[in-house]
């Protein structure tokens, strides 16, 4: 099981509502990406680890969005899938052409969605 899936599973076993668990996982990924951006030393293990955690997290979200038993509307599910596709493209671009400025959109997406999930948007 991936680190992101393990963190998600561990957190989901607490008494927090699922939306809050998802928000916390997104914020954890955002913090890792912010750390890479703030301490940029070129592409390194920390960058790849942060990108992988974020990608795995978004893979979970995209999988849940396309699941037949997802209770959300088709529009919400499609929006999640579209954001996930964008995140995957940005991640691939960052891996192929590393630039700390490219992390900004990934960080903002995670923080904004986390705020919405927590009712802080």
Query: What angle separates helix 74-96 from helix 45-65, to the nearest 10 degrees?
Result: 160
Q: What integer best gives the mean pLDDT of the chain?
A: 90
Q: Which of 74, 58, 68, 47 has the alpha carbon at shortest distance from 25?
A: 58
Tens digits of per-residue pLDDT, 17-61? 888 999 999 999 999 999 999 999 999 999 999 999 999 999 999
- Rounded to two decimals, what is the model's pTM? 0.84
Domains along the chain with CATH numbers: 10-117 (1.20.120.340)
6 exposure class (CB count in 10 Å sphere: 0-12, 13-18, 19+): exposed
Specify whether the CB–CB gap between 32 and 49 falls below 8 A: yes
* Residue 16: per-residue pLDDT: 77
pLDDT tens-place string over residues 60-107 = 999 999 898 989 899 999 999 999 999 999 999 999 999 999 999 999
pLDDT of 11 over the 60 cut? no
Alpha-carbon torsion angle 61, 113, 38, 93, nearest 10 = 50
């Amino acid at each position: 099981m991936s680190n992101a899936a393990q963190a998600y599973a561990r957190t989901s076993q607490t008494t927090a509502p699922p939306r809050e668990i998802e928000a916390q996982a997104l914020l954890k990924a955002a913090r890792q990406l912010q750390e890479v951006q703030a301490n940029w030393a070129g592409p390194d293990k920390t960058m790849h680890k942060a990108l992988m955690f974020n990608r795995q997290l978004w893979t979970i979200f995209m999988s849940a969005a396309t699941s037949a038993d997802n209770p959300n509307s088709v529009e919400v599910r499609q929006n999640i899938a579209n954001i996930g596709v964008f995140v995957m493209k940005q991640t691939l671009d960052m891996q192929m052409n590393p630039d700390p400025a490219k992390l900004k959109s990934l960080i903002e997406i995670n923080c904004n969605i986390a705020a919405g999930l927590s009712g802080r948007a």
